[in-house]
Amino acid sequence: MDKKDLRIIFMGTPEFAVGTLSRLVEGGYNVVAVVTQPDKPVGRHQDHLQPSEVKQYAQAHNLPVLQPVKMKDPDFLAELESYHADLQVVVAFRMLPEVVWSMPRFGTFNVHAALLPQYRGAAPINWAVINGETETGVTTFFLDKDIDTGRIILSKTFAIPDDANVEYVYDGLMALGADAAVETVDVMLQGNGEVPSMDQAPLAEGTELKPAPKIFKETCQIAWNQPAKRVYDFVRGLSPYPGSWTTLAPSGAVLKVYGAAKTGEATQEAPGTISVSGHRLLVATADEWLELKEVQMAGKKRMPANAFLNGNRAIEESVCQ
């Protein structure tokens, strides 16, 4: 089967998904329609609708766009079926009901930004960095009834340097995910829809599985009573988005932390104690001083810590909580 004969429906919403969609479209694969989230209300009064990055790309390339509110809506299902897709490719979308993922004759595969069965869930990139992993990757797998548990088609690994933040890993996995998606489609083309796949259960057996749940504001508060390495990984695992934060006592002001550095300098001070040494902003952890490199006070711009100290020398009288 030629790639122009394989009718593909693509499903995804954020920029991460555009990496794969663009590779398919610009590679000459037959993407017949795109499914993405409804436009999101934005602005002070929520009176402006912002289309997703996937929708913007699809419209720029004259691809039909479907934006269902409910995935089981009869009108949506009828429209989806009218495209007679052979295959559906999903990247960073939502959970699909069986009536959707079972519709194409070759099935539906997802590109997940982790090495399954590890880091199942909504935020695999963040959690891999937060947990100090030195390696992650992408996995393509067939969708089934449970989240991120379907049969694995292929995986590709990606090294995480110790100084990398989420942005670095995100960009790398976006490109790697596109590679994996195209390779998966090509294997299907060669086998006329048949592709070797592996059950995840044996891989998960006897292994501690690390989850990747959705991240909320409360998730991002720094716990200073941990070793410096854990706090350092936590900061870079949430940078640049959504950003880790701490509360300054006694003022109650919120300080976001986007960059930090391990100092190797031991401390006996209570965790959260702030020290200003020249142009360095240090905070005590459970074992060492951690240097804050880039911060942001609520309502202010992000800035290097030394610039922040120029107008906030009194911060040494505060404590991080």
Nearest-10 crossing angle of helices 15-26, 53-60: 20
Express each pLDDT in 94-116 by its tens digit. Answer: 999 999 999 999 999 999 999 99
pLDDT value for 90: 98
Q: What share of the chain is helix, strand, coil (3-state, %, to 5)?
A: 30, 30, 45
Q: How would residue 296 be classed by pLDDT, with cut points 50, 70 and 90?
A: very high
Q: How far apart are CA 153 and CA 196, in angstroms?
A: 6
Tell me how far CA of residue 77 lies from CA of 39, 67, 89, 287, 295, in angstroms: 19, 11, 16, 57, 47
At 45 the pLDDT is 67
Cα distance between residue 124 and residue 46, in whole Å: 29
- Quote the pLDDT of residue 299: 86
3-state SS class at 148 = coil
At 130-146, the pLDDT tens digits run: 999 999 999 999 999 88
**Domains of the chain (ranges plus CATH)?**
8-204 (3.40.50.170), 217-320 (3.10.25.10)
SS3 297: strand
Residue 117's identity, in one-letter code, is P
Question: Higher pLDDT residue, 273 or 316?
Answer: 273
pTM beyond 0.85: the answer is yes
Spatial distance between the Cα atoms of 258 and 256, rounded to a whole number of angstroms? 7
CA distance 275 to 252: 18
What pLDDT is attached to residue 312?
83
Residue 311 is predicted with a pLDDT of 80
- Has residue 262 got a pLDDT over 80? yes
- Asked if pLDDT for residue 44 goes beyond 80, the answer is no
Please tell me the distance from the alpha carbon of residue 236 to that of residue 121, in angstroms, as a whole number.
19
- Cα separation, 229 vs 70, in Å, equals 43
The Cα 62–Cα 103 span in angstroms is 24
Residue 285: pLDDT over 90: yes
Least confident of 46-55, 247-256, 274-283, 284-293: 46-55
- Looking at residue 2, its pLDDT comes to 87
Question: Distance between CA 40 and CA 42 in Å, rounded?
Answer: 6
Q: Long-range contacts: 241-248, Cβ < 8 Å, 24+?
A: 241/166, 242/215, 242/217, 243/296, 244/220, 245/220, 245/221, 246/221, 246/222, 246/272, 246/283, 246/320, 246/321, 247/221, 247/320, 247/321, 248/315, 248/318, 248/319, 248/320, 248/321
Interior/surface letters 164-184, b for 16+ CB within 10 angstroms, e for the rest:
bbbebbbebbbebbbebbbeb
The alpha helices in 149-290, defined as continuous H runs, are 166-190, 201-204, 228-236
Most distant CA atoms of the chain, gap in Å: 70
Nearest to 32 by CA among 79, 75, 85: 85
Please state the φ and ψ torsions of residue 128, each to the nearest 5 degrees.
-65, -40
- Name the average pLDDT for the chain: 95
Evaluate whether 262 touches 290 at the Cβ level (below 8 Å).
yes
Residue 316 confidence (pLDDT): 84
